[in-house]
Copies of this chain bind each other. A is one copy, B any other.
Amino acid sequence: MSDPRLDTTRVIRATTGPEKTAKSWLTEAAKRMLMNNLDPDVAEHPQSLVVYGGIGRAARDWACFDKIVEVLDRLEDDQTLLVQSGKPVGVFPTHPDAPRVLIANSNLVPAWANWEHFNELDKKGLMMYGQMTAGSWIYIGSQGIVQGTYETFVAMAKQHFNGNASGKWILTGGLGGMGGAQPLAGTMAGFHMIACEVDESRIDFRLRTGYVDVKATSLDQALALLEQAKASGKPTSIGLLANAADVFAELVQRNIIPDVVTDQTSAHDPLNGYLPQGWSMSEAAERRLQSPEQVVKAAKQSMAVQVQATLDMQSKGAVAVDYGNNIRQMAQDEGVQNAFDYPGFVPAYIRPLFCEGVGPFRWVALSGDPDDIYKTDQKVKELIPDNPQLHHWLDMAREKIHFQGLPARICWIGLKDRARIALAFNEMVKSGELKAPIVIGRDHLDSGSVASPNRETEAMLDGSDAVSDWPLLNALLNTAGGASWVSLHHGGGVGMGYSQHSGVVIVADGTEAAAKRLGRVLWNDPGTGVMRHADAGYDIAKNCAREQGLDLPMLSTKE
């Protein structure tokens, strides 16, 4: 039997322009965004339906993909489609202010929430790994992560190097769907970088799209290039074709210590996401089918080597930070007891932003026309005139970031701005200034939408890291508010068992009804983030709640 997930004849690209075949822009948008997730310029392995992050898929299999498209084309504006781990399982009566699609991906009852059980169900065709924005149809390629990474690197430079990264270098691993954003974000923030990657095609892809400056095929070559870059003074990124565990350990051996050390291999998925030391890629591909347990074991052992080297570098003065791929947990499982001695990037650099609901707000032009995005860039600058860092980002993004698939933009803004900006976009659609509706969403990695104790909710002030009531409430509230599609996922980013999170997407189609929904949903969604952090006791969040007039019943009595 042929694999229902692989179809090498398929090349999917979203329809563009102002004509729709679906019955409303809400469903047309869902369809285009699903397709856009599988655009060959966007997805990592589109013909296997894999969007990013190891095996994060957009639909269960090709039959499900086709059926979802078919249903979205026939769905009425008082009906809602249910998607269960990438499969369209039901259509039910709702009403115009309800979401058109509700999605639950990869969720398992906790005692069974591990990769072994997931893989078993996945193999049987009963599940799909949704990652964060793969299964919820709002992945926009590497740009999505560039700004997050850029914000993190800028915060790092501020915190550790007096705001000046010049002459400093970052060592990292992984140039995949998300990790590939590191070199561009790093040089934007003023650093040099060596990024280890075992898959040469990934390096070449990043060279072509301008994310990586130069390729090296040996550590010596990479170090020589680094010296040249330092001498020139121009921030330079080097893609090094090598196994990260080998390189990290070798550098410790040679006592060459980077200024910053991190990693973005897909360590969260030891079966599919991390190449063990000494293995070739094709060898790994074969063994994944034949003896998956062995692969997992070998991968975790190599991760332990890499984490140990990271700790050694930290003890010699490097700034070490975990970039949210759960590699510390894997290494700890393999006996590196102090794996968590270096922090995650969220408590270190991102949490203060989350306290004000600031996170990865993003939007996409359904017209397919880059001009629509440039106009919205301009609008954002007008409406937020007092944020030079944001203006700098928008300028650099326009200059350096190639659009992948539908033109899109991301910028990190919070409770006080999201609804305002969205309503302005809706006006631009209404007036005809933009050629077609705008889709507005975010990553699941956001202020109020995720419980992930090794990443987004690591080391919460009150110890509530593992409480996942919050993302569930976020999804329920976004459904109640009238988002266009809402999703609840498990295991994104850090892997099975380690996270629960929700996604939201809403369409600005220029109507009055959309304006009402946008006003609610894009207030409520960051609002739940401020609420969650205020409840945990963060002063920034409590102040933000008071300033913005958020209605948190227990807040005043708590002080």
What is the interface of chain A, defined by CB distance below 8 A to chain B? 63-64, 67, 70-71, 80-82, 84-85, 87-95, 97-99, 102, 104-113, 117, 120-121, 124, 126-127, 451-453, 462-470, 472-473, 475-477, 479-482, 486, 488, 490, 496-500, 516, 519-520, 523-524, 527-528, 531, 535, 550-554, 557
User: In the assembled complex, how far is the CB of residue A126 from the closest CB belonging to chain B, in whole angstroms?
Assistant: 5
Query: Quick one: closest B residue to A108, CB to CB?
Result: B466
User: In the assembled complex, how far is the CB of residue A197 from the closest CB belonging to chain B, in whole angstroms?
Assistant: 29
In the assembly, what is the distance between CA of A380 and CA of B76, in Å? 33
The 8 closest A-B pairs by CB, nearest first: A110-B113, A112-B466, A110-B110, A104-B469, A98-B480, A91-B551, A104-B472, A111-B497
A468 contacts B95, C-beta separation under 8 Å: no
Select A102's contact among B90, B476, B488, beta carbons within 8 Å.
B476
Residues of B within 8 A of A531 (CB): 82, 89-90
B482 contacts A85, C-beta separation under 8 Å: no
A498 contacts B121, C-beta separation under 8 Å: no
Select A553's contact among B90, B112, B523, B552, beta carbons within 8 Å.
B90
Interface centre among A70, A84, A124, A476 (most CB of B within 10 A): A476
Known interface pairs A104-B472, A121-B463, A524-B93; A110-B553 also in contact (CB < 8 Å) = no
A480 contacts B80, C-beta separation under 8 Å: yes
User: In the assembled complex, how far is the CB of residue A132 from the closest CB belonging to chain B, in whole angstroms?
Assistant: 15
Residues of B within 8 A of A453 (CB): 109, 111-112
Select A490's contact among B84, B110, B464, beta carbons within 8 Å.
B110
Known interface pairs A105-B469, A476-B104; A89-B497 also in contact (CB < 8 Å) = no
Known interface pairs A89-B535, A126-B462, A520-B93; A557-B63 also in contact (CB < 8 Å) = yes
Residues of B within 8 A of A84 (CB): 467, 469-470, 473, 535
In the assembly, what is the distance between CA of A108 and CA of B500, in Å? 9
Residues of B within 8 A of A82 (CB): 473, 476-477, 528, 531
B90 contacts A550, C-beta separation under 8 Å: yes
In the assembly, what is the distance between CA of A550 and CA of B90, in Å? 8
Query: Quick one: closest B residue to A64, CB to CB?
Result: B554
23 contacts between A and B (CB under 8 A): A82-B473, A82-B477, A82-B528, A88-B554, A90-B553, A92-B551, A93-B523, A95-B481, A95-B520, A98-B480, A102-B476, A105-B469, A107-B468, A107-B500, A109-B453, A109-B499, A110-B110, A110-B111, A110-B500, A112-B453, A113-B466, A127-B467, A468-B490
Interface centre among A452, A481, A496 (most CB of B within 10 A): A481
Query: Quick one: closest B residue to A79, CB to CB?
Result: B551
Select A467's contact among B63, B107, B465, beta carbons within 8 Å.
B107
In the assembly, what is the distance between CA of A3 and CA of B516, in Å? 44
Select A557's contact among B67, B111, B113, beta carbons within 8 Å.
B67
User: In the assembled complex, how far is the CB of residue A85 from the closest CB belonging to chain B, in whole angstroms?
Assistant: 6
